[in-house]
Every structure is written in structure tokens, then in C-alpha cells.
Amino acid sequence: MYVSIAVLNFNGRKHLEVFLPSLIENSKGHEVVVIDNASSDDSVEWLKTHHSDVRIVKLDKNYGFAGGYNKGLSQIKADVYIIINSDVKVTEGWIDPLLSCMEKDPRIAAVQPKIRSLQNSGFFEYAGAAGGYLDWFGYPLCRGRIFDTLEKDFGQYDEYVEVFWTSGACMAVRALPFWEVGGFDEAFFAHQEEIDLCWRLQMLGYSLYCHPKSVVYHLGGGTLDYQSPRKIFLNFRNNLMMLTKNLSIVHLFVILPVRLVLDGLAGLRYLFKGRFVETFQIIKAHISFYAHIGYVLKKRSAFFMKNTHRNRVRRLSKLVIVDYYLFGRKYFSEL
């Protein structure tokens, strides 16, 4: 398999300077490509000066995570793309476990490593931890991270397991299935586009895994802080778009109204805490979702009826928001 490691960059020279040398050193034998989302800093000039062996794909504007990767990867010929954030520190031998399982099973479309926090290395990191899942209401969670609670990694999730989604912070994905489902949905711009992608991959009969023998460390919030208003807007809007695109009609009519109510309660929770900006972002997310409803339904009809494996896709039969807030079950192992 020909593998290309793709790093998406937007004004991230400081991250490239810190993390790119380690990535190159620990990825020998594989092409490293930096896809630049029209950075206004000196990222591209720095790359040309200090890493002339790294291929640069320059885009004409900032297309976000989803559009940036789609447009960049379309210019890269490879059997497997390894998508990795610019603020991820890799370890020796990190690639081999990811590729070995893909070589053994052609129905595995994507694999992620175990992702730990760079700032607190004994703990999992928010964006992926030890593999992602969705609960019955469509809330994302990970082995090692539920909502904002991060677990310490003491080997409790070291088994190689199938997961619902693999992290966009670092994942190996086969090029053919990636394009077979249309790549990332560019309307998402950023956040949860990898969950949407993984959902569609499963509906075409592919599976996804986390391989804990591959370990990387993620700084997190390198482009957009986890608590930023923009991130709140994107997460709330994109989650509703994803559910509308991918749920069965029966589940959609049951779950979507409940989610709209729960989102409203989340907005009230922020309001009572005096966090008016966050409340406004949730309202704004819903307005944007309604504005995109025609697009979402069109995407749904274009893809949903083509697949033959809808019944294979399984979310967790858990109401994680209830377990977390009412019963205090903060860890994945407690669910």
C-alpha cells in the first residue's frame, strides 16, 4: 500500500516547527504532504526553507477542515491517507499497527491510534481518545472521554476493537472508500465531519477500528479552542446535520425533536450561568441548521438509499446524557 501522510495547516507555523520534525523522523518511507489552507503567516515560506523535501499543496482560500482535506487529498495519489493534525506528536513505530490491520482486512476503511494528551500525557485527549462512539441520541463520546471528562490511561482500553468513528486528529483511511462516500461533507467546515464520514462508511459495509499499540499525543485546540464560541456553534449545528443525514426515518422522527429540546436546555444552562455568548451560539446553530435543511435532505436522498448496510450500523443503546448528568457515570467503562 502506498501511504501519504497529510497535515492540514492554517497559520500554524508554530505547530509545524514543533511537531513536523518528529513526524518526518518517525514516518520514514512514507510521503509527508502539508495541505495549506491559504495561510497568511509564513508557514509556506518556512516549509520551503526548512523542509524542502515535504510536498506542499497550496489552496486558494481557507476551506476549513472538511473542504481543506477534500481539496488537498484530491491532489494526492495514495492507497491510504493518514490524516493528522499539525499539533500531534507521534511516537516511534506509530504507523505500523495502523497499516498492519488494514493489510489483513480489506473491509477496514479506517483506523486510529490511541490519542493521549500532550499537556497531560497520562490522560486521554478529547479528540478521539481510544476510539469514538455515538449514544442513542447521537451524542459523541470516546473510550476515555465522555463530554468534558477525560480518563487517565492505565491500559483499560488497550484492546484492539471496532469503533463507531475514528478521530480526524489522527486516522488512517483508505482512499477508495473515502471517495466512495464523497469525502468529508464540506458544509460542516470543521467538527464532527469525521463522524459523519465514518457513519457513511459503515453504511457501505466498511468497519473502523482503534489500534492501541499505535500511540500519539495531541496538543488539542491548536486551531480552535475547545471552549470557543465558534466550536460550540459548529458542534451543535453539525451534529443536527449529521443526524438528519444518516438516521433512519423512524429514528429521525423520534430523536430529532428530543435533541432540539435538549439543545434548548443546554442553552438555558449556559444562560443561567451568565454565559450569554454560548447561549447565542446554540441559537445561531439551530438557525443555521434550518437554513441548511434543503441541502441536508438532498445529501441524505443522494446517499442514503444507495447503501445496503443500514442495519449494520449500531449506535450505543445508552442515553449518555442521562448516565452522565443524573447518575454521575463519567467513565466509558461505567456505561
Packed helices 276-291 and 293-304: angle between N→C axes, nearest 10 degrees: 60
Q: How far apart are the first and last CA of the chain?
A: 38
Task: Report yes or no on 326 lying in a domain.
Answer: no
How many other C-beta atoms can be found within 10 angstroms of the C-beta atom of residue 24?
16
How sure is the predictor about 228, in pLDDT bands with cuts at 50, 70 and 90? confident
- Global pTM? 0.95
* 237 and 172 belong to one structural domain: no
* 135 and 194 belong to one structural domain: yes
* 199 and 262 belong to one structural domain: no
Residue 222 is predicted with a pLDDT of: 47
* 133 and 252 belong to one structural domain: no
Task: Report yes or no on 323 lying in a domain.
Answer: no
* 186 and 292 belong to one structural domain: no
* 36 and 74 belong to one structural domain: yes
- Residue 82's domain comprises 3-218
Bridge partners of 173? 81, 110
Q: Which three cell numbers stand for residue 239?
A: 451534529
Q: Please tell me the number of Cα atoms within 13 Å of 119 on its side-chain side.
A: 8
Q: Which residue has the cell 447565542?
A: 280
Counting the structural domains of the chain, the total is: 2
Q: Which three cell numbers stand for residue 80?
A: 491510504
Residue 227 is predicted with a pLDDT of: 65
* 213 and 235 belong to one structural domain: no
Residues in the chain: 335
* 46 and 109 belong to one structural domain: yes
Please state, rounded to an integer, the average pLDDT across all residues of the chain. Answer: 94
Residue 330 has pLDDT above 90, yes or no: yes
* 85 and 182 belong to one structural domain: yes
Task: Report yes or no on 310 lying in a domain.
Answer: no
Residue 312 has pLDDT above 80, yes or no: no
22 class by beta-carbon count within 10 Å (0-12 exposed, 13-18 middle, 19+ buried) = middle
Nearest Cα neighbor of 99 from 111, 116, 91, 84 is 111
Which CATH number do you get for residue 16?
3.90.550.10
How sure is the predictor about 301, in pLDDT bands with cuts at 50, 70 and 90? confident
pLDDT in tens, 143-173: 999 999 999 999 999 999 999 999 999 999 9
* 25 and 160 belong to one structural domain: yes
Region 264-282 average pLDDT: 94
* 160 and 275 belong to one structural domain: no
* 207 and 269 belong to one structural domain: no
pLDDT in tens, 240-258: 999 999 998 899 999 999 9
Q: How far is CA 89 from the centre of its chain?
A: 17
